Structures are given as C-alpha cells and as structure tokens.
A and B are shown apart, each in its own frame.
Chain A
Amino acid sequence: MAKPGGSAETLIAEQYAVDLARPLPDAGAGLPAYAAIDRRGGAAPLMAVQARSGAPLRARMIAALSGTGIEGLCAPVTCGPAPGPDGRMALFVICQAPPGPRLDATRPWSEAVVIDEVLRPVATALDRLQGRHVTHRGIRPNNLFRAVNGGPVTLGAAWAGPPAALQPALFEPPYSACCHPAGRGDGAIADDVYALAVTLIVLALGRNPLHGLDDEAILQRKLELGSHAALLGTERLPPLLGDLVRGMLAEDPDHRPTPILLTQPSVARSRRVATRPPRRAQWPFETGGTEVWNARGLARVIAHDPSQGAQLLRNGAVGNWLRRSLGDAAAATRIEDVVPAHADAAAGGPTGESLAVMRAAAVLDPLAPLFWHGRALWPDGIGPLLVAAAQPGPGGAADAAALEELISTEAAASWAALRAERCDVALVRQEARQNRMWLRLSGLEGGMPRLCYTLNPLLPCSSPLLDGQTVVRLPDLVPALERAAARPEARRLNAVDRDIAAFIAARSDTNLAHELVGLGNGSGEGRMAMARLRLLAQLQDRFRCPPCPTLARWVTEECVAPPNEWRNRTRRRQMHERLDALIAAGWLPALVELVDDAQAREADKAGLRHAEEAVRAIDAELAALATGAGRRTAAARRLGHEIAAGGGLTAVVAAMALLCLA
C-alpha cells in the first residue's frame, strides 16, 4: 500500500519513490510516466507508468518479468497504488526507464541501422520474453527508445494496460486488429514479430505507409490484400530487410520467423517460409453494400452482423458462393456440417444465431478470433474486456450482456473445438467451464464481479465503500476498510458488499470459502453479519493487519444481535464491556472469539432452560400456596388434635408419676 512520502513524492511497495513533479513525456508510450527512485539504493533509473482507470494491469507479465532485468527492455519491477498528480489514487507500474528519447520515425533509417540497432536487440529481447512464455504486445516506433548518442534500441513498457490495447491497427495482425482493444489477449510472440516488422517498415520508409487511413480502412486493406501487400504496396525496401519483413508479416503466425532466428537476419532470410496469398474468388460476395473477395473477408462480414449472417448461412448463399465463386467445396461442406443445427435453433433467438455465425467464421477463417454478437475477442482477453464493459459509457451494458451470454454458453469451448490445430482445446474448454462456474456461483462471491477480479488479478476493488482508495492486494483491504469506516455515509452500508466479497473470493484461497458462502445465503442478517466479522477477522489475522478500531465498531454494530442473543443479563453486560474493550483494541479475531463462542452460548441456553424450569416450579408452588387454605385448615386441625392428644397423654403420664412418687 502506498504511503504519502512527501509533498510531490509517493512511495510504492514501501520502496519506490515516484516523483510526480518530474513527468517523463513520451516514456509511457501513450500513458503518463514519471521518474522513480529505488529507496534501497538501486542504481538503474526507473520510471512509474500510470495506468488508466478501468484498464487492468498485465499481472502475469509483471509477475514473470519482475526483477529479471532483460537487456533492451523496460522490464517491470513492481506495481502498486499511489496518489496521482490530481491527488486521486491511481495504479502505477514501476519499470526500468528508457535510455533516451523515442525513435524518430520521420526520416528513413538505413538498412544496417535498422537491422543492427532495431531488429537484433528487439529480437533478442523478444527471445528472452518467449523463454518466459510472455509477450510484449506494444512494439511500435513510439514505444522504442534509444540513447541520444545512438546504440541499440530498448523496448518500452507495455504492462500498464491490457495487451495491445494501445496498438493501432497498423501494427497488429488482422486477427488482432479487428478485436476490441481490451479483448486482444496476450497473443503469441509471433504477434510481436508482426508488430516488429511493421515498425521496421515505418523506420525504413521514414513514414507510415498507410498514413491517412483509419484503423477500419487499414484492417479492410490487410484482409483484402494480405498484410505485406497492404503495407508495402509498390514501396520497395532494401533486399535483406524486404525479405525479412515479408516473412515476418506472414498471415499465419506459424509461418513467421521466431525471435531467435531474427537475431541472425541472414539465416532468417534463408529459412523464410513461402506463403500463398489468400485465395481470391471469381466474383465478390455482396451483402449490405459490401464486397468481399476471400473467405477471411466473408468471415468478418457475416460475423459483423450475426442476424444477417445467420440468414445468409440458412439460405445457402454462403455455401453457394464458396463452391461456385471461391471454389472451396470443402469449406462449404464443413460449414454445412457445423452450422445447420445451430442455424435452425437460431430461428428463435440471437444466441443460436451468434453460435452459428461464430462456428461459420471459425471454419471460414481459422486464424480469426472468436466472434460473438458482432464483437471480436480472444478468449484470454475476456477479463480486460469485462472491465471495459463495466466502465460507464455507451454500449457498456450491451457488451456486458453479450459477454455474460458468451461465458454462460461456453462458446469459447465450441470455438476452440473448430480450430483444434491452432489452440489447446482442453485448456480453452477448462477455462470456459471455470468461467461459467464462477459466473453461475450464487451468493455474493459469484457472478460478474467475481469473474472480473479473478480474470484480472491486479484489478483494484471497485467497491463504493472504498471511494478514493485503490486496493489491489488482499492485505490492503482491511486497512482500507478501516479508513472507509471513518466516513459516516459508508457506515450506513454493510462492511462487505458484493464487490468486496467477490474481490476476496478471487484473491483468496479456499479457506475463506465457508465465510464467503455465509455472506449471502439468506440465513438472516445476524448470521450474515457474523460471517462478515469472521471473514474480516481472518483477513486481519492472516495478513497481520494493524488494529482497526473503527472497522471493529462498524462490524460490531452490524453484529449487535450476538451480544443480545445472550439471555443471561449479567453475562450480556459483561459481553458488552468486553466488546467495548476489544473494539477499542481493534483486533477482530478476538472479537470473533467473544461473540462466536459456541460452548458458552450453549451453556447460556442450558442456563436459560434451567431458569425456566425453576420459574415454572416456583409458579406452581405459589399457585398451590394461594389455593391451599382448605388443605392448610385440615392440616392445622389434624395437628391441633394431635397436640391435644399428646397433651392428654402427657397429663396421664404425669399423674401416674405423681402417684408413684406419693
């Protein structure tokens, strides 16, 4: 958790100081960046890249690369929340600072410089990344840096947001460019090779070859002509660079050279895989004023409008065009194999239509991403996409509904099964089932919030209770709630709302499952309040959080029933006194021990039963005494007569004794 460290300086992870007064323009490649210092004496210059709100950090990459110090890469060091320049909390990624300004792409670079100072160092860095099973997904000229006096370039940071979210369509393969920026997924190292190829072209030409075209136009051009032809057209590159770029821009990522191969450009040139351009039809497929000439284009057209696409599939227009114009009878047959049942089912609803169109698109273009309700995404991009859909703005609710349907139908598993040779079907199916399970999980710990936090491990908790605070890690939650408890408006709500429960469920292990289930099982407010107290107590105990008296009072006020459940008033009074003492101490586990002592509670109940029995006996005896006048009179008469008889007998004995004495 960040702590205020000075007027313009904040500390992240208790170690890294961010100097908000020293912004580093352009160093963040589209995101604000500031100078950072390692308080423990690290020599390497650091920077802090500020993430945008609603853009989750790349947790897996940060975890895999922290402390690695890969040469030629602004590798991440750590991340954490801290107050931003506007005073509001924000997330920062601490990473190595670039050695100089970003590359100047306004003048042509020589082939030798491009190969020796750009291609080789970047390929080396990518090879290191590939060795750690991670990707960069942010390679473009304005994210490459070079010292003022020259030398190899350094790859900039690409960790403070979803993968490739800031990449223009120019630098992305078509199957990634057509996706929502947040839904592009981690991709493969071959996608970085593709982006590197486009970067090399831009640097070699000294300009953007598709300048003036928007992303959609660039995408259409790439789909229609293929990436290489779309980018270079009639432009000519030096021979070695031209051959390398041709291979690196292969439409099939499996055909692109690996980074290790690119470190030896002459070898990479000789091993270039010859790729065929996409098959072009004899006449175009026309729909809605759009013409497409190949299967990839057709896949995107029918996927763009699932309703119309399903109709085209049902009336055979797609199959006929594939057979007669494109001459691909195999594709037509396969579509008829996988689509009809869904197309018939689609007559009644958009889900069936989307399933049919998704399957058809996967058959038409095995490289294509998953199309769902007109949206394109990669399954590993669902997490950031869920966060983007949850942001306020037009279309967010529709996106969220579409994603929910995608997850609940496990469409990703169906999609993967149709392109088994290009993905790990078992893994995608397992993830799809797991996502569906989390979505369907009832109670506070399930549903969309749970999915969001589980799929985005560094997503801050978005509970309204934590207004103004950024909590990313579970150990920071209890201190944040302690601060939140100081606000009266927060005290009117439960201390663990849906967001916090989902956040805890996503970030914790199964040991807290019982308490999480108890939060929302409808077992009564008292029991749910106890579950909240137990949950927060476990968190405080597990993470050794500091005392939290304000939170303790807040949660205990919700648990006001437990002390009052004690029937013995002396015990209850003692409970309240001990409660007050423990609240002041702010240690929640002790509070739980006090109010959740089952043995003492059972003893209290047994005592109550004993007291009730005793009172019943007293009442019966009092009633008997009140109505016992007759019985008492008879007893008195009997006793009186016995006394009189006894007196008579005594008199006889006394008389006899006197006579004897006389």
Chain B
Amino acid sequence: MKAARDRAPPRRGASLLWFQGLLCGALIAVSISTALLLAALLLPGLAAVLLDREPGRPVARTVLLFGVAASAAPFTRYWESAHTIDAALGIIGDPMALGIAWLAAGFGWALTEFAPVAARLVLEAADRRRIVQLKAERTAYEEEWGLPPQEPAGD
C-alpha cells in the first residue's frame, strides 16, 4: 500500500506527448509525403511548440493557427494531386507556398508579441480614467460632508 501511495500519478502532458508521438508515427507510416509536406509548411509552428514553455503555449498556438491557415491552400493542392513524394517536394520547393506559410506563422508570432502591449496600453488608459473618476467622487464627498482629504502616499 505504501509503495502504491508513494508512486507518482501519471502526468497528463506526458500522455499527450505520447499520443502526439503516436499520431505522428502513424501519419509517417501511412503517408510519409503528407507528413513531410505538413512538417515543412508548419515548421515554425512546430518549432514554437518546442520552444514555448508558457502554460497553454499561447505563442505556439497562434503560430500554428496562422500556419495552418496559410498552409490550407498548398495542402489542398497537394491533396488534389497524386499526393506523392514528388508532389510534396514540388510544393515544398515552391518558395511562394512555403514563404506564405512561414510568413503567416511569423505574423502569428508577431501578433502574440504585440497584442499584449496594445492590451496593456488600453487597460492603463481605462485605469487612469477610473482614477480620475474616483478622485472626483471623493472630492465631492469631502466637500459635501467635510471629510478629510486623502493622505498622500508615503515616501
């Protein structure tokens, strides 16, 4: 019993990783060309998955989503062809297709970097407006009821 209690519970991330590995292995086994094409088109996203250690991987999530959106057209073209290794390599060799996919992924990365900054600017503006409103309310109370003014913050 004591040994069972001391045994660590299985980690959800590890099983997910194991499931992803199994999925990738199955994909390679079933269609190596498809796996190759997807790996090339979504390379920035996959790299972001590996590099992003933040909970929920927000950067990787956005980069992958934008990568998927940009990869949809070349992948459809590959899928409508004979979806052979040659077709995959042909699309991979097309700088336009690969460039668009990677640019989209880059745009996603840039969005995850700049959206928080913009959000912070918006939130700070809202807080400043709230502070002005609260101080006005306080001044009104002070004048109406003869209450002492707010003590200045300590040095």
Contact = CB atoms under 8 A, between A and B. Distances in A.
Contacts of B131: 622, 625-626
Contact of B130 (A608, A625, A655): A625
A652 B123 contact: no
Contact of B65 (A611, A621, A636, A648): A648
Contacts of B135: 622
Interface string B60-102: 0111111011101100100000000000000000000000000
B147 A615 contact: yes
Interface in A614-628: 614-615, 618-619, 621-622, 625-626, 628
A644 B58 contact: yes
Nearest to B147: A615
B150 A656 contact: no
Contacts of B116: 636-641
Contact of B119 (A568, A643, A654): A643
Interface in A297-347: none
B141 A632 contact: no
Nearest to A611: B145
Contact of B134 (A568, A618, A628, A638): A618
B108 A608 contact: no
Interface residues of A, number: 40
Given A644-B62, A648-B69, A621 B112 contact: no
Nearest to B136: A618
B111 A647 contact: yes
A612 interface: yes
A418 B125 CA distance: 100
Given A628-B127, A641-B115, A652 B134 contact: no
Contacts of B123: 632, 635-636, 639
A659 interface: yes
B138 interface: yes
A651 interface: yes
Contact of B146 (A567, A641, A654, A659): A567
Contacts of A651: 65-66, 69-70, 104
Contacts of A568: 144-145
Interface string A552-570: 0000000000000001111
Contacts of A645: 58, 61-62, 65
A645 B63 CA distance: 9
A649 interface: yes
Given A618-B137, A622-B134, A632 B124 contact: yes
A475 to B, nearest CB: 42
Nearest to B126: A632
Contacts of B143: 569
Contacts of A655: 68-70, 72-73
B120 interface: yes
B68 A639 contact: no
A632 B119 CA distance: 9
Interface of chain A: mostly helix, strand, loop or mixed: helix
A640 B121 CA distance: 11
Contacts of B130: 621, 625
Given A626-B153, A632-B120, A637-B116, A619 B61 contact: no
B73 A611 contact: no
A33 B126 CA distance: 94
B110 to A, nearest CB: 9
Contacts of A270: none
A510 interface: no
B119 A636 contact: yes
B14 interface: no
B16 interface: no
Nearest to A626: B153
B72 A656 contact: yes
Contacts of B72: 652, 655-656, 658-659
B47 interface: no
Contacts of B122: 636
Contact of B62 (A618, A637, A638, A648): A648
Contacts of A649: 65
Contacts of B61: 645, 648
Interface centre among B63, B108, B115, B123 (most CB of A within 10 A): B115
Given A636-B116, A639-B123, 18 more contacts: A569-B143, A607-B145, A611-B141, A611-B144, A611-B145, A612-B147, A614-B141, A615-B141, A621-B134, A632-B120, A637-B119, A645-B65, A647-B62, A647-B108, A651-B66, A652-B69, A652-B72, A655-B72
Interface of B: 58-59, 61-66, 68-70, 72-73, 76, 104, 108, 111-112, 114-124, 127, 130-131, 134-135, 137-138, 141-147, 150, 153
29 contacts: A568-B145, A569-B143, A569-B146, A614-B137, A615-B141, A615-B142, A618-B138, A618-B141, A619-B138, A621-B134, A622-B131, A625-B130, A632-B123, A632-B124, A635-B119, A636-B122, A639-B115, A639-B119, A640-B114, A642-B58, A643-B115, A645-B65, A647-B108, A648-B62, A648-B108, A651-B104, A652-B68, A652-B72, A659-B72
Of all A-B residue pairs in the complex, the 7 with the closest CB atoms, nearest first, are: A648-B65, A640-B116, A640-B115, A636-B120, A641-B58, A651-B69, A636-B119
